[in-house]
Amino acid sequence: MKTDLSQKLFAAAKKVIPGGVNSPVRAFRNVDGDPFFVRRAKGSRIEDVDGNKMIDYVGTWGPAILGHAPTSVIEAVHAAAKEGVSFGIPNPYEVEMANKVVDWVPSVEKVRMVNSGTEATMSAIRLARGFTGRDKVVKFDGCYHGHVDSLLVAAGSGALTHGEPDSAGIPNAFAAETIILPYNDAGKLEELFAKMGDQIAAVIVEAYPANAGLILPQPGFMQLMRDITKKHGALFIMDEVMTGFRVAKGGVQELEGLMPDLTAMGKVIGGGLPVGAFGGRADVMDFLAPDGPVYQAGTLSGNPLAMAAGLAQLRELDRQSGYQRLEELGARLEAGVRGILQEKGLGYKFNRVGSMYCLFFTEQEIINLDSVMTCEKEPFKKYFYSMLEQGVYVAPSPYETGFISMAHSNDDIDDTLEAMNVALGKI
């Protein structure tokens, strides 16, 4: 694969951008390589600056559920931009977006828009603390909730792949307010609440943990989180930044029939523009300024371009009955992958929910971060570069979830499976 221009750009980038990237996982450190630079992306394909074309399973880390640069989103952004790109004054799109979220997400009665998933979880945590008057927050090993100080402890995604679960620069006093538990361990959760339930403001969990591979909850574990928080006067926060509008209109809470107190959202809701949101019970949300004592704000929050892009994406998903089609594509990929693994006698695990999937380079049952960490890096690296050579881009880390989009065709999936057959044959 020709990479001359990418290499030049990366060398130039490293001089003026830390590590040459604006977000760590883009740097390909986990596959011991250098990133390529993208020129353009359309549908299921990306094209790099050297002209290599690839089928993409990263989908800008989740937002591109319709595929790249969908006409509906581009037209909506153009139309909105003609009227002005930012106002800092309430605009009609915000009301339409809030209504859409309240309509689609079962537990959300009121919602506020922000500019990233990180802002969404950060604000939800502050609100939970303000509402309950308590400080402690419970999170789970391997769950990533953005780079919020108090949540960047035992986190997944980039923090995990770089082997630095805790970041420098976070005061011990902040981290001390965060309690980490292993995922899927009901006993530990019950023990903790029995001991200090009256100090806990909230339990926050990735709706389905998808930043350390894709870990699925064991029966009853999520219901326990819901019940135990309620019993002890703590809030239950579901982080649906990745799963929201991705696995179903109403996210995991719709699939699982669970009503969290607060929900963090992002990615798909922004149609590829910088958007996040948090929402939930009206009595809790009313604790926010200007009505309530918990301050939260944003110069660009509810930005008209971002709202128009997100609304266009959600409308189009609905119009195309997106979730049904994404399930079909996901099932096609899964059947193919399982066939390949079986044929090659590989005991690797594969998890999938609709259009989200992860192939784990381990034979261990995947129940928590410890089991994910048994994934073997060297075979993954071989697989990653073989896929890339064959024109398929999967996330450059064994711990990331893959995303299928509406723009992927059955042929794309079949071509991907052929490439996987070759790549996994090298292991």
- Kindly report the three-state secondary structure assignment for every residue of 92-159: HHHHHHHHHHHHHCCCCCEEEEECCHHHHHHHHHHHHHHHHCCCEEEEECCCCCCCCHHHCCCCCHHH
* Residue 260 engages ligand PMP in binding (rule: CB under 6 A): no
- Decide: residue 385, CB within 10 A, 0-12 exposed, 13-18 middle, 19+ buried: middle
Ordered alpha helix ranges (H), 177-291: 186-196, 221-231, 251-256, 282-285
Q: Which is nearer to ligand PMP, 101 or 242 (CB)?
A: 242
User: Which tokens belong to 382?
Assistant: 């071989």
Say whether 357 is catalytic. Answer: no
Helical (H) or strand (E) element with 315: helix 304-319
Give the separation between CA 232 and CA 290, rounded to whole angstroms: 28
Say whether 239 is catalytic. Answer: yes
Strands 53-56 and 262-266: unpaired
Q: How far is the CB of 149 from ligand PMP (least distance, A)?
A: 13
How far is Cα of residue 275 from the mean position of the Cα atoms in its chain?
13
Q: Which is nearer to ligand PMP, 147 or 408 (CB)?
A: 147
Among 91, 121, 132, 351, binds ligand PMP (CB under 6 A): 121
* Residue 117 engages ligand PMP in binding (rule: CB under 6 A): yes
* Residue 272 engages ligand PMP in binding (rule: CB under 6 A): no
Among 52, 72, 118, 161, binds ligand PMP (CB under 6 A): 118
* Residue 157 engages ligand PMP in binding (rule: CB under 6 A): yes
> Angle 322-344/304-319 helices, nearest 10 degrees?
70
The single residue of 57, 144, 383, 393 carrying the catalytic annotation is 144
Size of the site for ligand PMP (CB under 6 A): 16
Q: Provide the mask over 208-237, with x wherever binding to ligand PMP is found by CB under 6 A and - wherever it is not.
A: ---x--------------------------
Q: How far is the CB of 274 from ligand PMP (least distance, A)?
A: 7
Q: Which is nearer to ligand PMP, 33 or 274 (CB)?
A: 274
* Residue 61 engages ligand PMP in binding (rule: CB under 6 A): yes
Q: Which residues are catalytic?
A: 144, 239, 267
Q: Which residues bind ligand PMP (CB under 6 A)?
A: 61, 116-118, 121, 144-146, 157, 206, 211, 239, 241-242, 266, 276
